Structure 1
């Protein structure tokens, strides 16, 4: 299981690769849409990559609740196998 820090680092890598977000900009309090400028299409790609990387399933209904990086980290942390 990945630690909280490993999840943040992994998400930063994914966001950098798929949405061009600087890894140093990815912190728990940042929102995906407002702070990191991730559009809805990129967000779907980020979620799919995170599911693969961390072995979790993030349903569409849950995706809308993941507003900040911290929300995503907490969800992944709680749902890892």
Structure 2
């Protein structure tokens, strides 16, 4: 999983399967909290899933700035390339 499309596809699978979000609602611009209705507990669960997906530790402070699906894709891309 190197490119943004693969990252977005995997993230979409996680959001649909684990958080019961309609795939049609997921876009790069979608807000995790307003549009996709994630709460702080969901965010923690998402970080855990992303750690499993990447095999890398995600620092909570790095994830606090994440607001949109694109922010998550960028964060994952940064982790993979670091």
Fold in common (TM above 0.5): yes
Number of the residue aligned with 1:47: 47
Q: CA RMSD in A?
A: 1.4
Q: Distance in 2 between matches of 1:73 and 1:57?
A: 15
1:25-44 correspondence to structure 2 within 5 Å: 25-44=25-44
TM-score, normalisation: structure 2: 0.87
Other-structure match for 2:7: 7
Q: Which residue of 1 aligns with 2:22?
A: 22
Paired positions, count: 81
Once superposed, which parts of structure 1, at least 4 consecutive aligned residues long, lie more than 6 Å away?
Answer: none
Report the CA distance between 1:57 and its aligned residue.
Answer: 2.3
Return 5+ residue gaps in structure 2 as ranges.
Answer: none
SS of alignment partner, residue 5 of structure 1: helix
Gaps of at least 5 residues in structure 1 are none
- Counterpart check, 1:59 vs 2:59: yes
Partner of 1:76: 76
1:22 to partner: Cα distance: 1.3
Bigger shift: residues 12-21 or 51-60: 51-60
Q: Quick one: distance in 1 between partners of 2:26 and 2:63?
A: 18
